[in-house]
Structure 1
Amino acid sequence: MPDLAWLKKVRPQKLPFRRHVTRAAVALVQRDDPGQEALLFIQRARREGDPWSGDMAFPGGRLQASDTSSRDTAMRETREETGLDLYAGGRYQARLSDLLTRHHSRWRPMVVTPHVFRWQGDAALTLNHEARSGVWIPLDYLSDPVNHSTLPVNTPLGTLTFPCCRYQDYCIWGLSYSMMQEWLALAG
């Protein structure tokens, strides 16, 4: 696994302007798979106009007025998208660094805050319309450099190459890859 200590120096945990832009939160849900640790990923449902349609992600979404915090948002969205009730069966582990991205359909900035939980319940998922599939991927697999490669992505700027991790027919890249890497560096 690459040394990401430099990342903590250049990426603040809390972006100072986060309260002035749209905010979202996600949950990195970790559990003890029989004999090994695993991390939950969902494959986003395919939707017209969604640039990340079908991509691998962590459960999450935008903060709503009824949410008490970004952690509450991550917990609520996880329950809605996967059926895992982090309020009842999750143990809070950590808050990772804020990440800057954009809205799906606009070029307006959005800050995403990742929260890590240890799941202590059944691993069965009840996916809603926002998730196409869900998969628990072993942390040993995710942290092995052999399973990491690159993904070429066509953009208005030309073809850009991003780091990724491939598991079965899934490809984890972008913000999800960045969040996963930060958690693996902190956890291991």
Structure 2
Amino acid sequence: MNPPWKADRVARRLAAAGHTLVSPEAADRHAAVTLIIRPRRGDLELLFVRRAKVPGDPWSGHMALPGGHRDGADADLLETARRETREEVGLDLPRRAFLGRLDDLHPVTRRIPSILISPFVAWHDRDIGVATNDEVQYHVWVPLGALRDPARRSEVRFADGGRERMYPSILFEGDTIWGLTHRVVMNFLDILTERVNR
């Protein structure tokens, strides 16, 4: 039986796995997202938000992680992640709460603008609730066990550039996690599983 998840244990796995960086010149814009985890009953829960429906937004109504575009006032991408987390879900996470990074994402499709996304992982165990802003319809905490459950795996059919494609997804209580968010989550799950099974 594996020991319960603690912040230092997750941080060690992230550090051991490392992360792939993409050159900032690869995209017109740079963004950061935060995968927020909290300990619950010996497991972890991950925070997801459903984005508000906004005309012209390619991620409108999708399940996502708190995050957004880098602002000129942000000292670095970690500050972008912190600011966006504070604005979207009301959690003012200190820099020490961030445990590491996951692989950069650089989606190449005509459906969305040229963007580079840097995901960070943060630990949240304080008794402070989530308070979403108008960019978010609602939030949900999803147990790690549910994200790993093969019975919850599915696919999303989506028209991309005139061609219909199938994208892997995870279903949870009526919500579908897919696309870039799914890629971030699977990167995180792969790191935890790989390190635990060694």
TM-score, normalization by structure 2: 0.81
User: Which amino acid is the alignment partner of residue 179 of structure 1?
Assistant: V
Kindly indicate whether the alpha-carbon contact (under 8 Å) linking 2:27 and 2:106 is maintained by their aligned counterparts in 1. no
Matches within 5 A, 1:107-118: 108-118=113-123
Structure 1 gaps of 5+ residues are 1-11
Give the structure 1 partner of residue 163 of structure 2: 158
Matches within 5 A, 1:1-188: 13-18=20-25, 21-87=28-94, 91-101=97-107, 108-122=113-127, 124-188=129-193
CA drift at 1:94: 1.3
Q: SS where residue 120 of structure 2 aligns?
A: strand
Residues matched between the structures, number: 175
User: Which amino acid is the alignment partner of residue 88 of structure 2?
Assistant: E
CA drift at 1:106: 7.7
Whichever structure has more strand as a proportion of its residues is 1
Kindly indicate whether the alpha-carbon contact (under 8 Å) linking 1:91 and 1:120 is maintained by their aligned counterparts in 2. no
Cα separation, 2, equivalents of 1:153 and 1:30: 29
- CA gap 1:162/1:62 in 2 versus in 1, 3 angstroms: same
Structure 2 gaps of 5+ residues are 1-18, 194-198
- CA gap 1:57/1:107 in 2 versus in 1, 3 angstroms: closer
CA drift at 1:130: 0.6
Q: SS where residue 184 of structure 1 aligns?
A: helix
CA drift at 1:156: 3.1
CA drift at 1:144: 1.5
Any idea what the Cα deviations from partners look like across 1:44-87, whole Å, max 9, x if unmatched? 00111112211000000000111111111011100100011112
Identity percentage over the alignment? Answer: 34
The CA RMSD over aligned residues, in Å, is 2.2
Kindly indicate whether the alpha-carbon contact (under 8 Å) linking 1:18 and 1:111 is maintained by their aligned counterparts in 2. no
TM-score, normalization by structure 1: 0.85
User: Which amino acid is the alignment partner of residue 149 of structure 2?
Assistant: D
Q: SS where residue 182 of structure 2 aligns?
A: helix
- CA gap 1:152/1:108 in 2 versus in 1, 3 angstroms: closer
